[in-house]
Amino acid sequence: MKKMKTKQYVVVTTDKDRRGVFGGFLKSYDPATQIAKLTEARIALYWSAETKGVFGLAAIGPQDGSRVSHAVPEIEVNGVTAVINCTDEAVKQWEKGIWN
């Protein structure tokens, strides 16, 4: 599979050892190495029941009661298991950086 390059906002999940869930603009992704590079990246440390799971993070974004970090300029994420495109609605919620 070839490397992906895009400017799409995505949710990235990692394997059972790393257990991270990140949101950000996809700079690149290489399935062979399971490495994704994100810009304007945040980590979801907790998402509320209203978010309805990881797919909810991509569909409607983190809802009230969630905990999302401040953005960092760029991050390299290892052990990627999924790269999920976000809706415009979800991006707006991610960019709020909710921490309740």
Residue 6 is predicted with a pLDDT of 62
Residue 60 lies in a domain: yes
Which range marks the domain in which residue 34 is found? 9-96
How many domains is the chain partitioned into structurally?
A: 1
pLDDT digits (tens, 9 = 90+) for 27-39: 999 999 999 999 9
Residue spans of the chain under pLDDT 70:
1-6
Asked if residue 1 is part of any domain, the answer here is no
Give the 3-state secondary structure of residue 33. Answer: coil
Say if 68 falls within a structural domain: yes
Per-residue confidence (pLDDT) for residue 98, from 0 to 100: 86
Domain-embedded: residue 3: no
User: Per the domain annotation, does 70 fall within a domain?
Assistant: yes
> Can you give the pTM of this predicted structure?
0.91
Q: What is the pLDDT of residue 100?
A: 76
Q: Is residue 36 part of a domain?
A: yes
pLDDT at 1: 46
Q: Looking at residue 52, which CATH number applies to its domain?
A: 2.30.30.100
φ/ψ region of 79 (left if φ > 0, alpha if ψ in -120 to 50, else beta) reads: left
AA letter at 25: F
